[in-house]
Structure 1
Amino acid sequence: MPTRLPSQPSPAYPPPSPAAQALAARCESRVNELARHMARDTFERLPGYPELPADVKDVEIAATVRNGLRLFLRRVREPQAQPGDYSLFRERAAQRAEEGMPLHTLLRSHSLGVYVLWQALREEAASGEEGALIELVDLLLHGHQAIIGAVAETYLDEQAAISAERREHHRSLMRGLLDGALPPADAFEQLGLKAPCLVVHLYLPPGRSAPSAVADRRMVRRVQTVLDHAFGTDAMSLLDAGGGHVIASPHPGDPDGERACEELCARLRHACGDGIRLAAVVAGSPQDVPAGARTATDVVQVARACGRPAGLHRMEDVLLEFHLSRRDESSARIAALLDPVGDRPELIDTLRAYLEHRQDRRGTAHHLGLHPNTVDNRLAKLTELTGLDVASPRGNALALAALLLRGGAHTR
């Protein structure tokens, strides 16, 4: 929640003069009349107000107006009393926020109410009461700013709470959709999604030496802003500081989402730095979404495990690696081939870079910032410890499979 600024101290006003109290007292008999006039006539010029139900106007809004009029008149009559209880104004502001009334409409209704009361005081004022009228207007405007502050604060707090509840509800639906806990068609309907859709997996690199909850929230907000620009606010996301999933409608003319994802990747790199990875799968129906999300996640994780550069990953880019990373009864034995160098991360990193650079020792050395002879020495040591000859086709394929099966890819 945003930090509230401290309330400014109220200026000290002298008690209203007897003339001002007498002028205000002549308006007390008109409270009900003024309340009806505001609720049924004055506020009708406000956008959206005419569509409100008659009982809301005649009961809730009229009662709120009467409350405001009586608070003002009481303040004139009893200047030493407390400024007044704004709880009804706060309650009504929360209701209007929940009903979706725009804040500007709500605030304009309060300002119009002040204007109508000013008109009533002016009509009651006789010649020679100009000074008393000025006193009352001073009090009226001072009280108005306090009420407006209470109304706006409560409205925004309620709106923030409603938005948070809505976001959490959407997150819950997304979780249920992606993990299969909810019927896909029901979740789609509640989320307002349509098929076919694009299921995107995002990976955000850690990149911070001292992560914090505040920094994580900022990262997620930056990512969400980029997603809104790329896919529109109708796209649904389930994100945290490490990434997550997005479900969006593909743009016309871009049914596979290729161009949209390239643009998204560029925008994310600009907003969040290098290391962004993503993959997308088109789901033809709600039932295809959970499998599509798993596939997109696996493509990204396979690309990471085999040392692919960050960016947009396509299944075609990692087709062999994706196949090799699938688990079966031989997987444990293949993964164990790298056990002898499990405590030698420099050898694993060199192997990963060597495979990614298609057995180019100079390219591997440049990527790792090493001398080519150092790369040769590391690969020789790896062969000595594991028995894998990565220079041979069979040894190369086994090393790649072992790397994928133990390198963080989400295999199944």
Structure 2
Amino acid sequence: MTALHEPAQAGSPHAFPCPPLRLVDHLAQRTAALVAEVVTRICAEVDFYRSLPAETVKTDVTRIVRRNFEIMLRVLRTGEPPSDDDLADLIASAGNRADEQVPLSDVLDAYHVGARHWWATIAGLAQDGTRFAEGDLVRIGDLHYAWLRAATRAVIAGYDADDLGRPSEPRPGRSELLAALIDGGRYREVAARFHLTVEPEYWAVAVAVEPNPDETDAMVSSTVAAARKVRRLQRQFDGLGRGEALYSLTAGGGIALLPVRPAPHAESTTAPPDAAELDDRLRQLGERMAARTTCAVDLVRADEVAEVVPQLRDLLSIAQRQSSHRPVVRFADLAVEFQLSRPTRASRLSAARLDPIADDAVLWQTLRCYLDNACSTATTAQELHVHPNTVTYRLRKVSDLTGLNLGNPADVLTALGAVLAATPRPDSAGCQRADLYGHSTE
């Protein structure tokens, strides 16, 4: 990385005598308070920061304010301008804000808010009776300015990808390779063109990410919240794929291919050595994303990707419509449901069996919950927060209207196929809705 400052040398304008160490120690002891005060001021005084998600303020904004405070203290302590490593942190943070479309002027304004507050704190010590040697405040001001000047240049560099030599696509060729694999095209030619390797096998993952509270807050910028989710999701899959993952992701989810590379000389088994680890980490994905996630997973050869990925998307859709959330599903988990959901010439006729209850959200959801819970009246009643007798009454009404005997295994399969074949209703995303089911229809 090109240095954003000149090295400090004796006699150069960038080298300053150090201020009294007691001052630096005094400021360091107040780090938590001074950082918190600046974060509060930034959110109050800089327009765009008022719309940032609370989590972003608590984590990213607070972290970079603290990092700047630490850098400033080091400059005051040593008399040296910020190092390239220091500035790399500021550049990376500014790049994230650029990705989130935060105006550059607002980011610079935030830095100046912090600089003004910290200088006011230092100047206030003199007004409160702290004695500085002649010229100390001038030297401290020069050092303070050296930090702010370097930090300002780092922010501008973080917003200007061309000056940093940062490519517009951080993973050159991988999106093209993923597209070729999914389309069933000449993926080996694409890989060769970009000097990439096509692995014999991949974990194919279709992932759905539900909105988090920040995205539904009218005071929060939806652009910032979405960009943050995408970046976090990319980081998670980069970790899962050890930096070699192929993915196409949005704030709502997408598709990822994770290379499977068994350890050398490992005995061949049905499941690769990292299968259990993969499942565990995918189950933790929602916690790390601060939003509920659902993943449909399958092990595929490179030449199977084009066939399996569309089926994984269908499996994911079925899993999302289940009343009980499963963070990770495979075809074996929902085999019957998946087979019954396959579109055939009979699908329309199958779905038509439920036309008599199509406009009754309560009966529709009760039937779906009942089928999702292995036809257990007690479990269905528990999830719907109603009495088991209410569930029995509703199911009897379904039977009367549709002619399906839900005590007959064959009719249960017919009902399940009809539910899966029918177009999802607006209220059919889940069955735990107290407003719909908190009262009896008896």
Where does residue 349 of structure 1 map in the other structure? 365
Where does residue 78 of structure 1 map in the other structure? none
2:229 is matched by which residue type in structure 1?
A: M
2:238 counterpart of 1:228 = yes
The whole-number CA distance in structure 1 between the counterparts of 2:287 and 2:155 is 36
Cα distance, 1:146 vs. partner? 6.8
Cα distance, 1:386 vs. partner? 1.8
Match of 1:384 among 362, 378, 400: 400
1:309 is matched by which residue type in structure 2?
A: H
Match of 2:387 among 371, 381, 390: 371
Q: Which secondary structure state, in structure 1, belongs to the residue aligned with residue 334 of structure 2?
A: helix
2:210 is matched by which residue type in structure 1?
A: P
The whole-number CA distance in structure 2 between the counterparts of 1:400 and 1:345 is 17
- 1:9-408 residue pairs with structure 2 within 5 A? 153-154=156-157, 157-158=160-161, 162-167=166-171, 170-180=174-184, 182-189=185-192, 190=194, 192-208=197-213, 209-210=216-217, 212-252=222-262, 255=272, 258-273=275-290, 275-285=292-302, 287-406=303-422
1:206 is matched by which residue type in structure 2?
A: P
The whole-number CA distance in structure 2 between the counterparts of 1:327 and 1:199 is 23
Cα distance, 1:239 vs. partner? 0.7
List gaps (5 residues or longer) in structure 2: 1-12, 14-144, 264-270, 426-442
2:260 is matched by which residue type in structure 1?
A: P
The whole-number CA distance in structure 2 between the counterparts of 1:216 and 1:151 is 25
State the aligned residue count.
271
1:249 is matched by which residue type in structure 2?
A: P
Distance 1:330-1:183 versus aligned 2 partners, 3 A rule: same
The whole-number CA distance in structure 1 between the counterparts of 2:368 and 2:290 is 23
2:257 is matched by which residue type in structure 1?
A: I
Q: Which secondary structure state, in structure 2, belongs to the residue aligned with residue 237 of structure 1?
A: strand
Cα distance, 1:270 vs. partner? 1.5
The whole-number CA distance in structure 2 between the counterparts of 1:217 and 1:318 is 32
Question: What are the Cα deviations for residues 383-402 of structure 1, in whole angstroms up to 9, with x where unaligned?
Answer: 22222222211210111001
When Rg is computed on C-alpha atoms for both structures, the one with the higher figure is 1
Where does residue 433 of structure 2 map in the other structure? none
Q: Which secondary structure state, in structure 2, belongs to the residue aligned with residue 296 of structure 1?
A: helix
Distance 1:210-1:154 versus aligned 2 partners, 3 A rule: closer
1:403 is matched by which residue type in structure 2?
A: V
The whole-number CA distance in structure 2 between the counterparts of 1:383 and 1:274 is 38
Distance 1:164-1:379 versus aligned 2 partners, 3 A rule: farther
Cα distance, 1:168 vs. partner? 8.0
Structure with the higher helix share, 1 or 2: 1
Q: TM-score, normalised by structure 2?
A: 0.54
CA contact (8 A) 2:283 2:328 kept: no
Cα distance, 1:215 vs. partner? 1.3
Q: TM-score, normalised by structure 1?
A: 0.57
The whole-number CA distance in structure 2 between the counterparts of 1:177 and 1:158 is 30
1:242 is matched by which residue type in structure 2?
A: G
Q: Which secondary structure state, in structure 1, belongs to the residue aligned with residue 257 of structure 2?
A: strand
The whole-number CA distance in structure 2 between the counterparts of 1:306 and 1:244 is 19
List gaps (5 residues or longer) in structure 1: 1-12, 14-141
Identical positions, percent: 27
Cα distance, 1:257 vs. partner? 5.2
Question: What are the Cα deviations for residues 266-290 of structure 1, in whole angstroms up to 9, with x where unaligned?
Answer: 32122134642112222223x2211
CA contact (8 A) 2:206 2:309 kept: yes
CA contact (8 A) 1:276 1:311 kept: yes
Q: Which secondary structure state, in structure 2, belongs to the residue aligned with residue 197 of structure 1?
A: strand
CA RMSD of aligned residues (A): 3.6
Distance 1:330-1:152 versus aligned 2 partners, 3 A rule: closer
The whole-number CA distance in structure 2 between the counterparts of 1:204 and 1:149 is 36
1:238 is matched by which residue type in structure 2?
A: S
1:200 is matched by which residue type in structure 2?
A: V
